[in-house]
Chains A and B, each alone.
Chain A
C-alpha cells in the first residue's frame, strides 16, 4: 500500500507535467511520421522521364509502363535540360530519355537505344538503371515478339503487337522477389513499419531515462528522507518508483503501438510476442530510468545527459537507420546495447511474421539487460536513500 502511494504520487506528477507529456506523446508521433515518410522512399527510385519528339503509341506505352512500375517514382520533364538539372541537384536518381521517332524506328526494324543518365556520385543510380532496364526489357520483348510475328507470318505491326500483349497476359508470369539479406536482420520492414517500432524502442528508453529527473527532484525535495522517517523501508520507495516508471513506459508503448496500427497501418505481428516484447523493453527502460534517478545529482544533469545517451544508444542500436546498412564491426558493436536486440526482435515480428518462439533469443538477452539494470538501479537508489536521504 505504501509503495502504491509512491507510485500514485509519481504518476500524478508526470501526468500534470505538460513538458513530460509532450515528450511522451507528441514528439514520438512526430518523429515516427518524419522518419516514416523518409524511409518510405527507400524502395522506389526517383526517375525523370523525357518523352522524345514525335511519340507514337509504342513510345507512349513504354512511358506508361515506366510510370506504372512499382519500383519507380517517375516525373515527366518536357526538356532533357530540365531533367539533367534535376539530376545534378540530386532530386532524381536517374533520367530516362526516350528517343525521337521511337515508333518509326521500331516499325522499320531499326535498333533503338533508350538512354538512362545517372550521376556518378549518386548511390541509387545503378539501382535505378536496373529497374528501368527491367521495364524496358519487358516492353522490348513484346515489341520483338510483334516484329518476329510480322517477319514470319506477315501482318500489321500494331495487330501483331496486340497479339503479343494477349500472349503475355495468358502466359504464366515468373515472379521475382527481391530481399536484402544478411545474417542478422534478414530483410527490413520499410516506411512506418520501420519507423514506428524503432521509435517505440528509442522513445520509451529516452523517456524512461528522462523520468529519472523526477526521482532526483524528489530526492532533493527531501520527501524520500521524510518518507523514511515513516514506517517505510527504502526498498518500498524503490518499488513504488519502479512501478510508476514501468507503467509510464508501458503506457507510452501502448500509445505508439495504437497510433502505429490505427494511423500508419503498421501490422505489429503476433500479438503475444509483441506484448511480451513491449513488456520486456519497458522493464529495460525502467531500469535505466531508476539508475539515472540514483546516480545523477541534479534534474538538469538528467535532462542534459539522459536524452543524449538515449539517442546515442538508439543510433548504435539501429533505431535511426537499419543496422543492415552499416559495416559488420559497427553492427557487432551495436549489439552491445539493448536497442539492437529490440529492433531485431521487431524486425522478426514485422517482416518475417515471427512468433514468440522466433524472438526468444532476443527476449532472453533483453531480459538479461532488464535484470541487470533493475538490480543495479535498485541497489544504487536504495544506497542513495539510506546514506544521503536528502541529497
Chain B
C-alpha cells in the first residue's frame, strides 16, 4: 500500500483497537511516521481520528495494539514517550484568564523545563506563532486565530519530536488557516514529525507527505496524496490544444501504454483528447511524441481525480458527510 519509512519511525502504531460499548471506534489501525514526515489522518467526523490521536498521546488506553514513540512504549503514565509528543487538541485548551506568556510557561513547566530554557523557549515560540507583541495579554482578549496559533505554540514549548495536531484549522479564518498550514509545512521541513488530522482534503494534499484515510474506525488506504489518487479506478482526461497533423498524432498516442483512448475534438478539430491512467507521469511521453511528429502543443489541460474522489471511491461517502 505504501513504502515503509526509510528512517526509524518516530511514531509506530500497531493494530490499534478501541471500542466504546459495542461500537469499534478504532479497528486495527496501524501507521508509522518517519522523522520530518507529515502524516495526515483524513476522514469525516466520527471516523476515529480523535480516538486514534488520544491513544497516540496516552490519553486513552487501547483495547488492543501498541503505540511506540521513538521506541518508547506509550501508556497512560508513560513519561518518556509523552515527553516526546506535543499535543495540540482540536479545541483551544488554554487558561483564558492567564496571559499568553503565562500559558506557555505553564505548559513548559508540565514538561519540567529548567527555568532558563523555559524562558528561552517561550520567547522562541512567541516569535514562531507571531504573538510576541501580545505576550502579556490575557488569552480571552485574543482573536480566534491568535488563540489557535497560541494553542499550537503551547504544544511546541518543550521542543517535541512528534507534533500531534487534531484538526487545528476548524473554525479558523482563511488568513490564520494559511498561517497555520505554513507553520505545519515548516515544522516538517525542520525535521519534526507531524501527525495531522483533518477532514479538509485540500489541507491534507497541501501539507502532508503521506495520508491515511480512515473511515468507520478502519484505515482504508494509505500513501502519498498522488499514490492515493492513483488508486482510483477513474481515469484522467488530457486535452491538448495543438497545431499540426493531429489525426496522426492521436493515432500514435493510442499506441502508448496507459493511453486508453484518443481523438480529435474542438470546433475545427484543433484539440486532441486522451483518456489515460496517471496523466502527469504520461505527460512527458505525450510531449516527446508531439515533438517527433512536428505537432506544436499550445496548451495542456488535465482533469484528474483528487482525494475527495479517492475518499468517495473507497468509502462510498463524501468526506464532509
Contact = CB atoms under 8 A, between A and B. Distances in A.
A224 to B, nearest CB: 9
B59 A229 contact: yes
A225 B95 contact: no
B4 to A, nearest CB: 27
A226 B87 contact: yes
Contact of A13 (B83, B92, B98, B107): B98
A223 B93 contact: yes
A231 B79 contact: yes
B233 interface: no
Contacts of A17: 97
B75 to A, nearest CB: 11
Interface stretch (A1-9, A41-49, A334-342): A1-9
Given A13-B98, A229-B57, A229-B59, A222 B91 contact: yes
Contact of B110 (A221, A230, A386, A390): A230
Contacts of B102: 9, 12
Contacts of B154: 226
Interface in A219-260: 221-223, 225-233
B89 A222 contact: yes
A16 B97 contact: yes
B106 A9 contact: yes
A366 B58 CA distance: 39
A226 B93 contact: yes
What does DSSP make chain A's interface, helix, strand, loop or mixed? Answer: helix
Nearest to B112: A1
Given A228-B59, A230-B110, A231-B111, A223 B95 contact: yes
Contact of B76 (A1, A225, A230, A386): A386
A356 B294 CA distance: 108
Given A2-B112, A12-B102, A228-B59, A223 B87 contact: no
Contacts of A221: 92-96
Contacts, number: 74
B257 to A, nearest CB: 50
B186 interface: no
A225 B94 CA distance: 11
A8 B95 CA distance: 12
A2 B87 CA distance: 17
B82 A9 contact: no
B85 interface: yes
A389 interface: yes
Contact of A1 (B82, B87, B98, B109): B109
Contacts of A351: none
A389 B89 CA distance: 12
A180 B106 CA distance: 56
A229 B58 contact: yes
B243 to A, nearest CB: 61
Nearest to A2: B110
Contacts of A390: 89, 91
Interface string A2-26: 1011001100110011000000000
Given A229-B58, A230-B110, A230-B111, A13 B97 contact: yes
A218 interface: yes
B97 to A, nearest CB: 5
B109 A5 contact: yes
Nearest to B93: A222
B34 to A, nearest CB: 22
Contacts of A389: 59
Contacts of A232: 110
A9 B98 contact: yes
A233 B75 CA distance: 11
Contacts of B76: 386
Contact of A226 (B77, B80, B89, B98): B89
Contacts of A4: 109
A229 B82 CA distance: 6
Given A13-B97, A231-B82, A389-B59, A2 B89 contact: no
Interface in A22-58: none
A223 B151 CA distance: 11
A390 B12 CA distance: 25
Contacts of A227: 107, 110
A12 B101 CA distance: 13
A225 B91 CA distance: 11
A54 B291 CA distance: 140
Contacts of B112: 1-2, 231
A5 B102 CA distance: 11
A223 B97 CA distance: 12
B172 to A, nearest CB: 17
A8 B89 CA distance: 23
Given A2-B109, A226-B154, A13 B95 contact: yes
A390 B89 CA distance: 10
Contacts of A5: 106, 109-110
Of A9, A221, A231, most buried by chain B (CB within 10 Å of CB) is A231
Interface in B27-80: 57-59, 76-80
A185 B111 CA distance: 52
B77 A233 contact: yes
B113 to A, nearest CB: 10
B139 to A, nearest CB: 10
A389 B106 CA distance: 18
A318 B107 CA distance: 44
Interface in B253-305: none
Interface string A360-391: 00000000000000000000000000100110
Given A222-B93, A225-B59, A230 B82 contact: yes
8 contacts: A16-B97, A17-B97, A221-B92, A222-B89, A223-B93, A227-B110, A229-B59, A231-B80
Interface of B: 57-59, 76-80, 82-83, 85, 87, 89, 91-98, 102, 106-107, 109-112, 154, 158
Given A221-B92, A229-B82, A232-B110, 20 more contacts: A2-B112, A5-B106, A9-B95, A9-B98, A9-B106, A13-B98, A221-B94, A222-B91, A222-B93, A223-B94, A223-B95, A225-B89, A229-B57, A229-B85, A230-B83, A231-B83, A231-B111, A231-B112, A390-B89, A390-B91
Closest 6 CB pairs of A and B: A222-B93, A5-B109, A229-B87, A231-B79, A230-B110, A229-B57
